[in-house]
Amino acid sequence: MPISREYARSLFADPTQSAPVPLDPDELLHMPGLRQHGHVFFGDIAVRCYKHKARWTYDERDIRAAGRAFADMEVRLDDVADVQLPAYRDIPEHDPEEWHRPNWRRQLVSWMFNQALRKMLRETRHERLGASRHDDERDSWRHIGANGLPGELTWEEFVAPSSRYQYLQNIAGTRPLELLTGPGRAGSCRGLT
């Protein structure tokens, strides 16, 4: 049975509000990437969109099944795996096919380097009256530091903007930074570098 985007959002949000993976049910309203593939993604679950009487709708069964899948999911945060994140590149080298595929590693690295660059620019702006930085210090934001983040960026500085710009901090309808920094979690880049 076709249902509206608003009803689909409420059906999906109810069972998933206490899901172990933080989700963004508003993806069902905004429908990012719809023109490219006709689905809304939550992690690896694709929810198909349908055109019904000139409006985009969802099938109620698909929404309920996706909600149940996330509500029943079990996440063990103690099982940490080291993941190699891609290095910084000025101009990304990519295959046109790869560019449209979701890549959470590339997205996390992009967030990290953007925050490190912003921090370096803020600090440089404040230093204009004083001594200037050497070129290698200005480029330090491009290199991963000992804490697993680029430059001198701290974990707190990295996740702080995620609370202000939540709509920009999701990957395939999930909020990975909330998962890493949620209640009872120390939150660090350990395992991500």
Q: Cα separation of 167 and 79, whole Å?
A: 28
Assess contact for 70 and 21: CB atoms under 8 A: yes
pLDDT reading at 95 higher than 50: yes
Q: Cα separation of 44 and 78, whole Å?
A: 22
- Of 153, 91, 149, give the one whose Cα is nearest residue 122: 153
**Is the Cα torsion angle 20, 23, 28, 32 positive or negative in sign?**
negative
- Mind giving me the DSSP string for 57-113? EEEHHHHHHHHHHHHT----TT-----PPPPP-SS----HHHHTS--HHHHHHHHHH
Edge-first strand order for the sheet with 39-42 is 2-3, 55-59, 45-52, 39-42
Q: Cα separation of 63 and 3, whole Å?
A: 9
- Of 151, 168, 166, give the one whose Cα is nearest residue 115: 151
Tokens 């055109």 correspond to what residue? 51
* Residue 76 structure tokens: 């063990």
Using one digit for the tens of pLDDT, what is the confidence trace for 31-88? 877 777 788 888 889 899 998 888 899 999 999 999 999 999 887 777 766 666 666 6
Q: Cα separation of 58 and 45, whole Å?
A: 14
Using one digit for the tens of pLDDT, what is the confidence trace for 137-181? 566 777 777 777 787 788 788 777 655 555 567 788 888 777 766
pLDDT at site 191: 46
Phi, psi for 39 (deg, rounded to 5): -135, 160
What is the model's pTM? 0.66
- How would you class 13 by CB atoms within 10 Å of its CB: exposed for 0-12, middle for 13-18, buried for 19 or more? middle
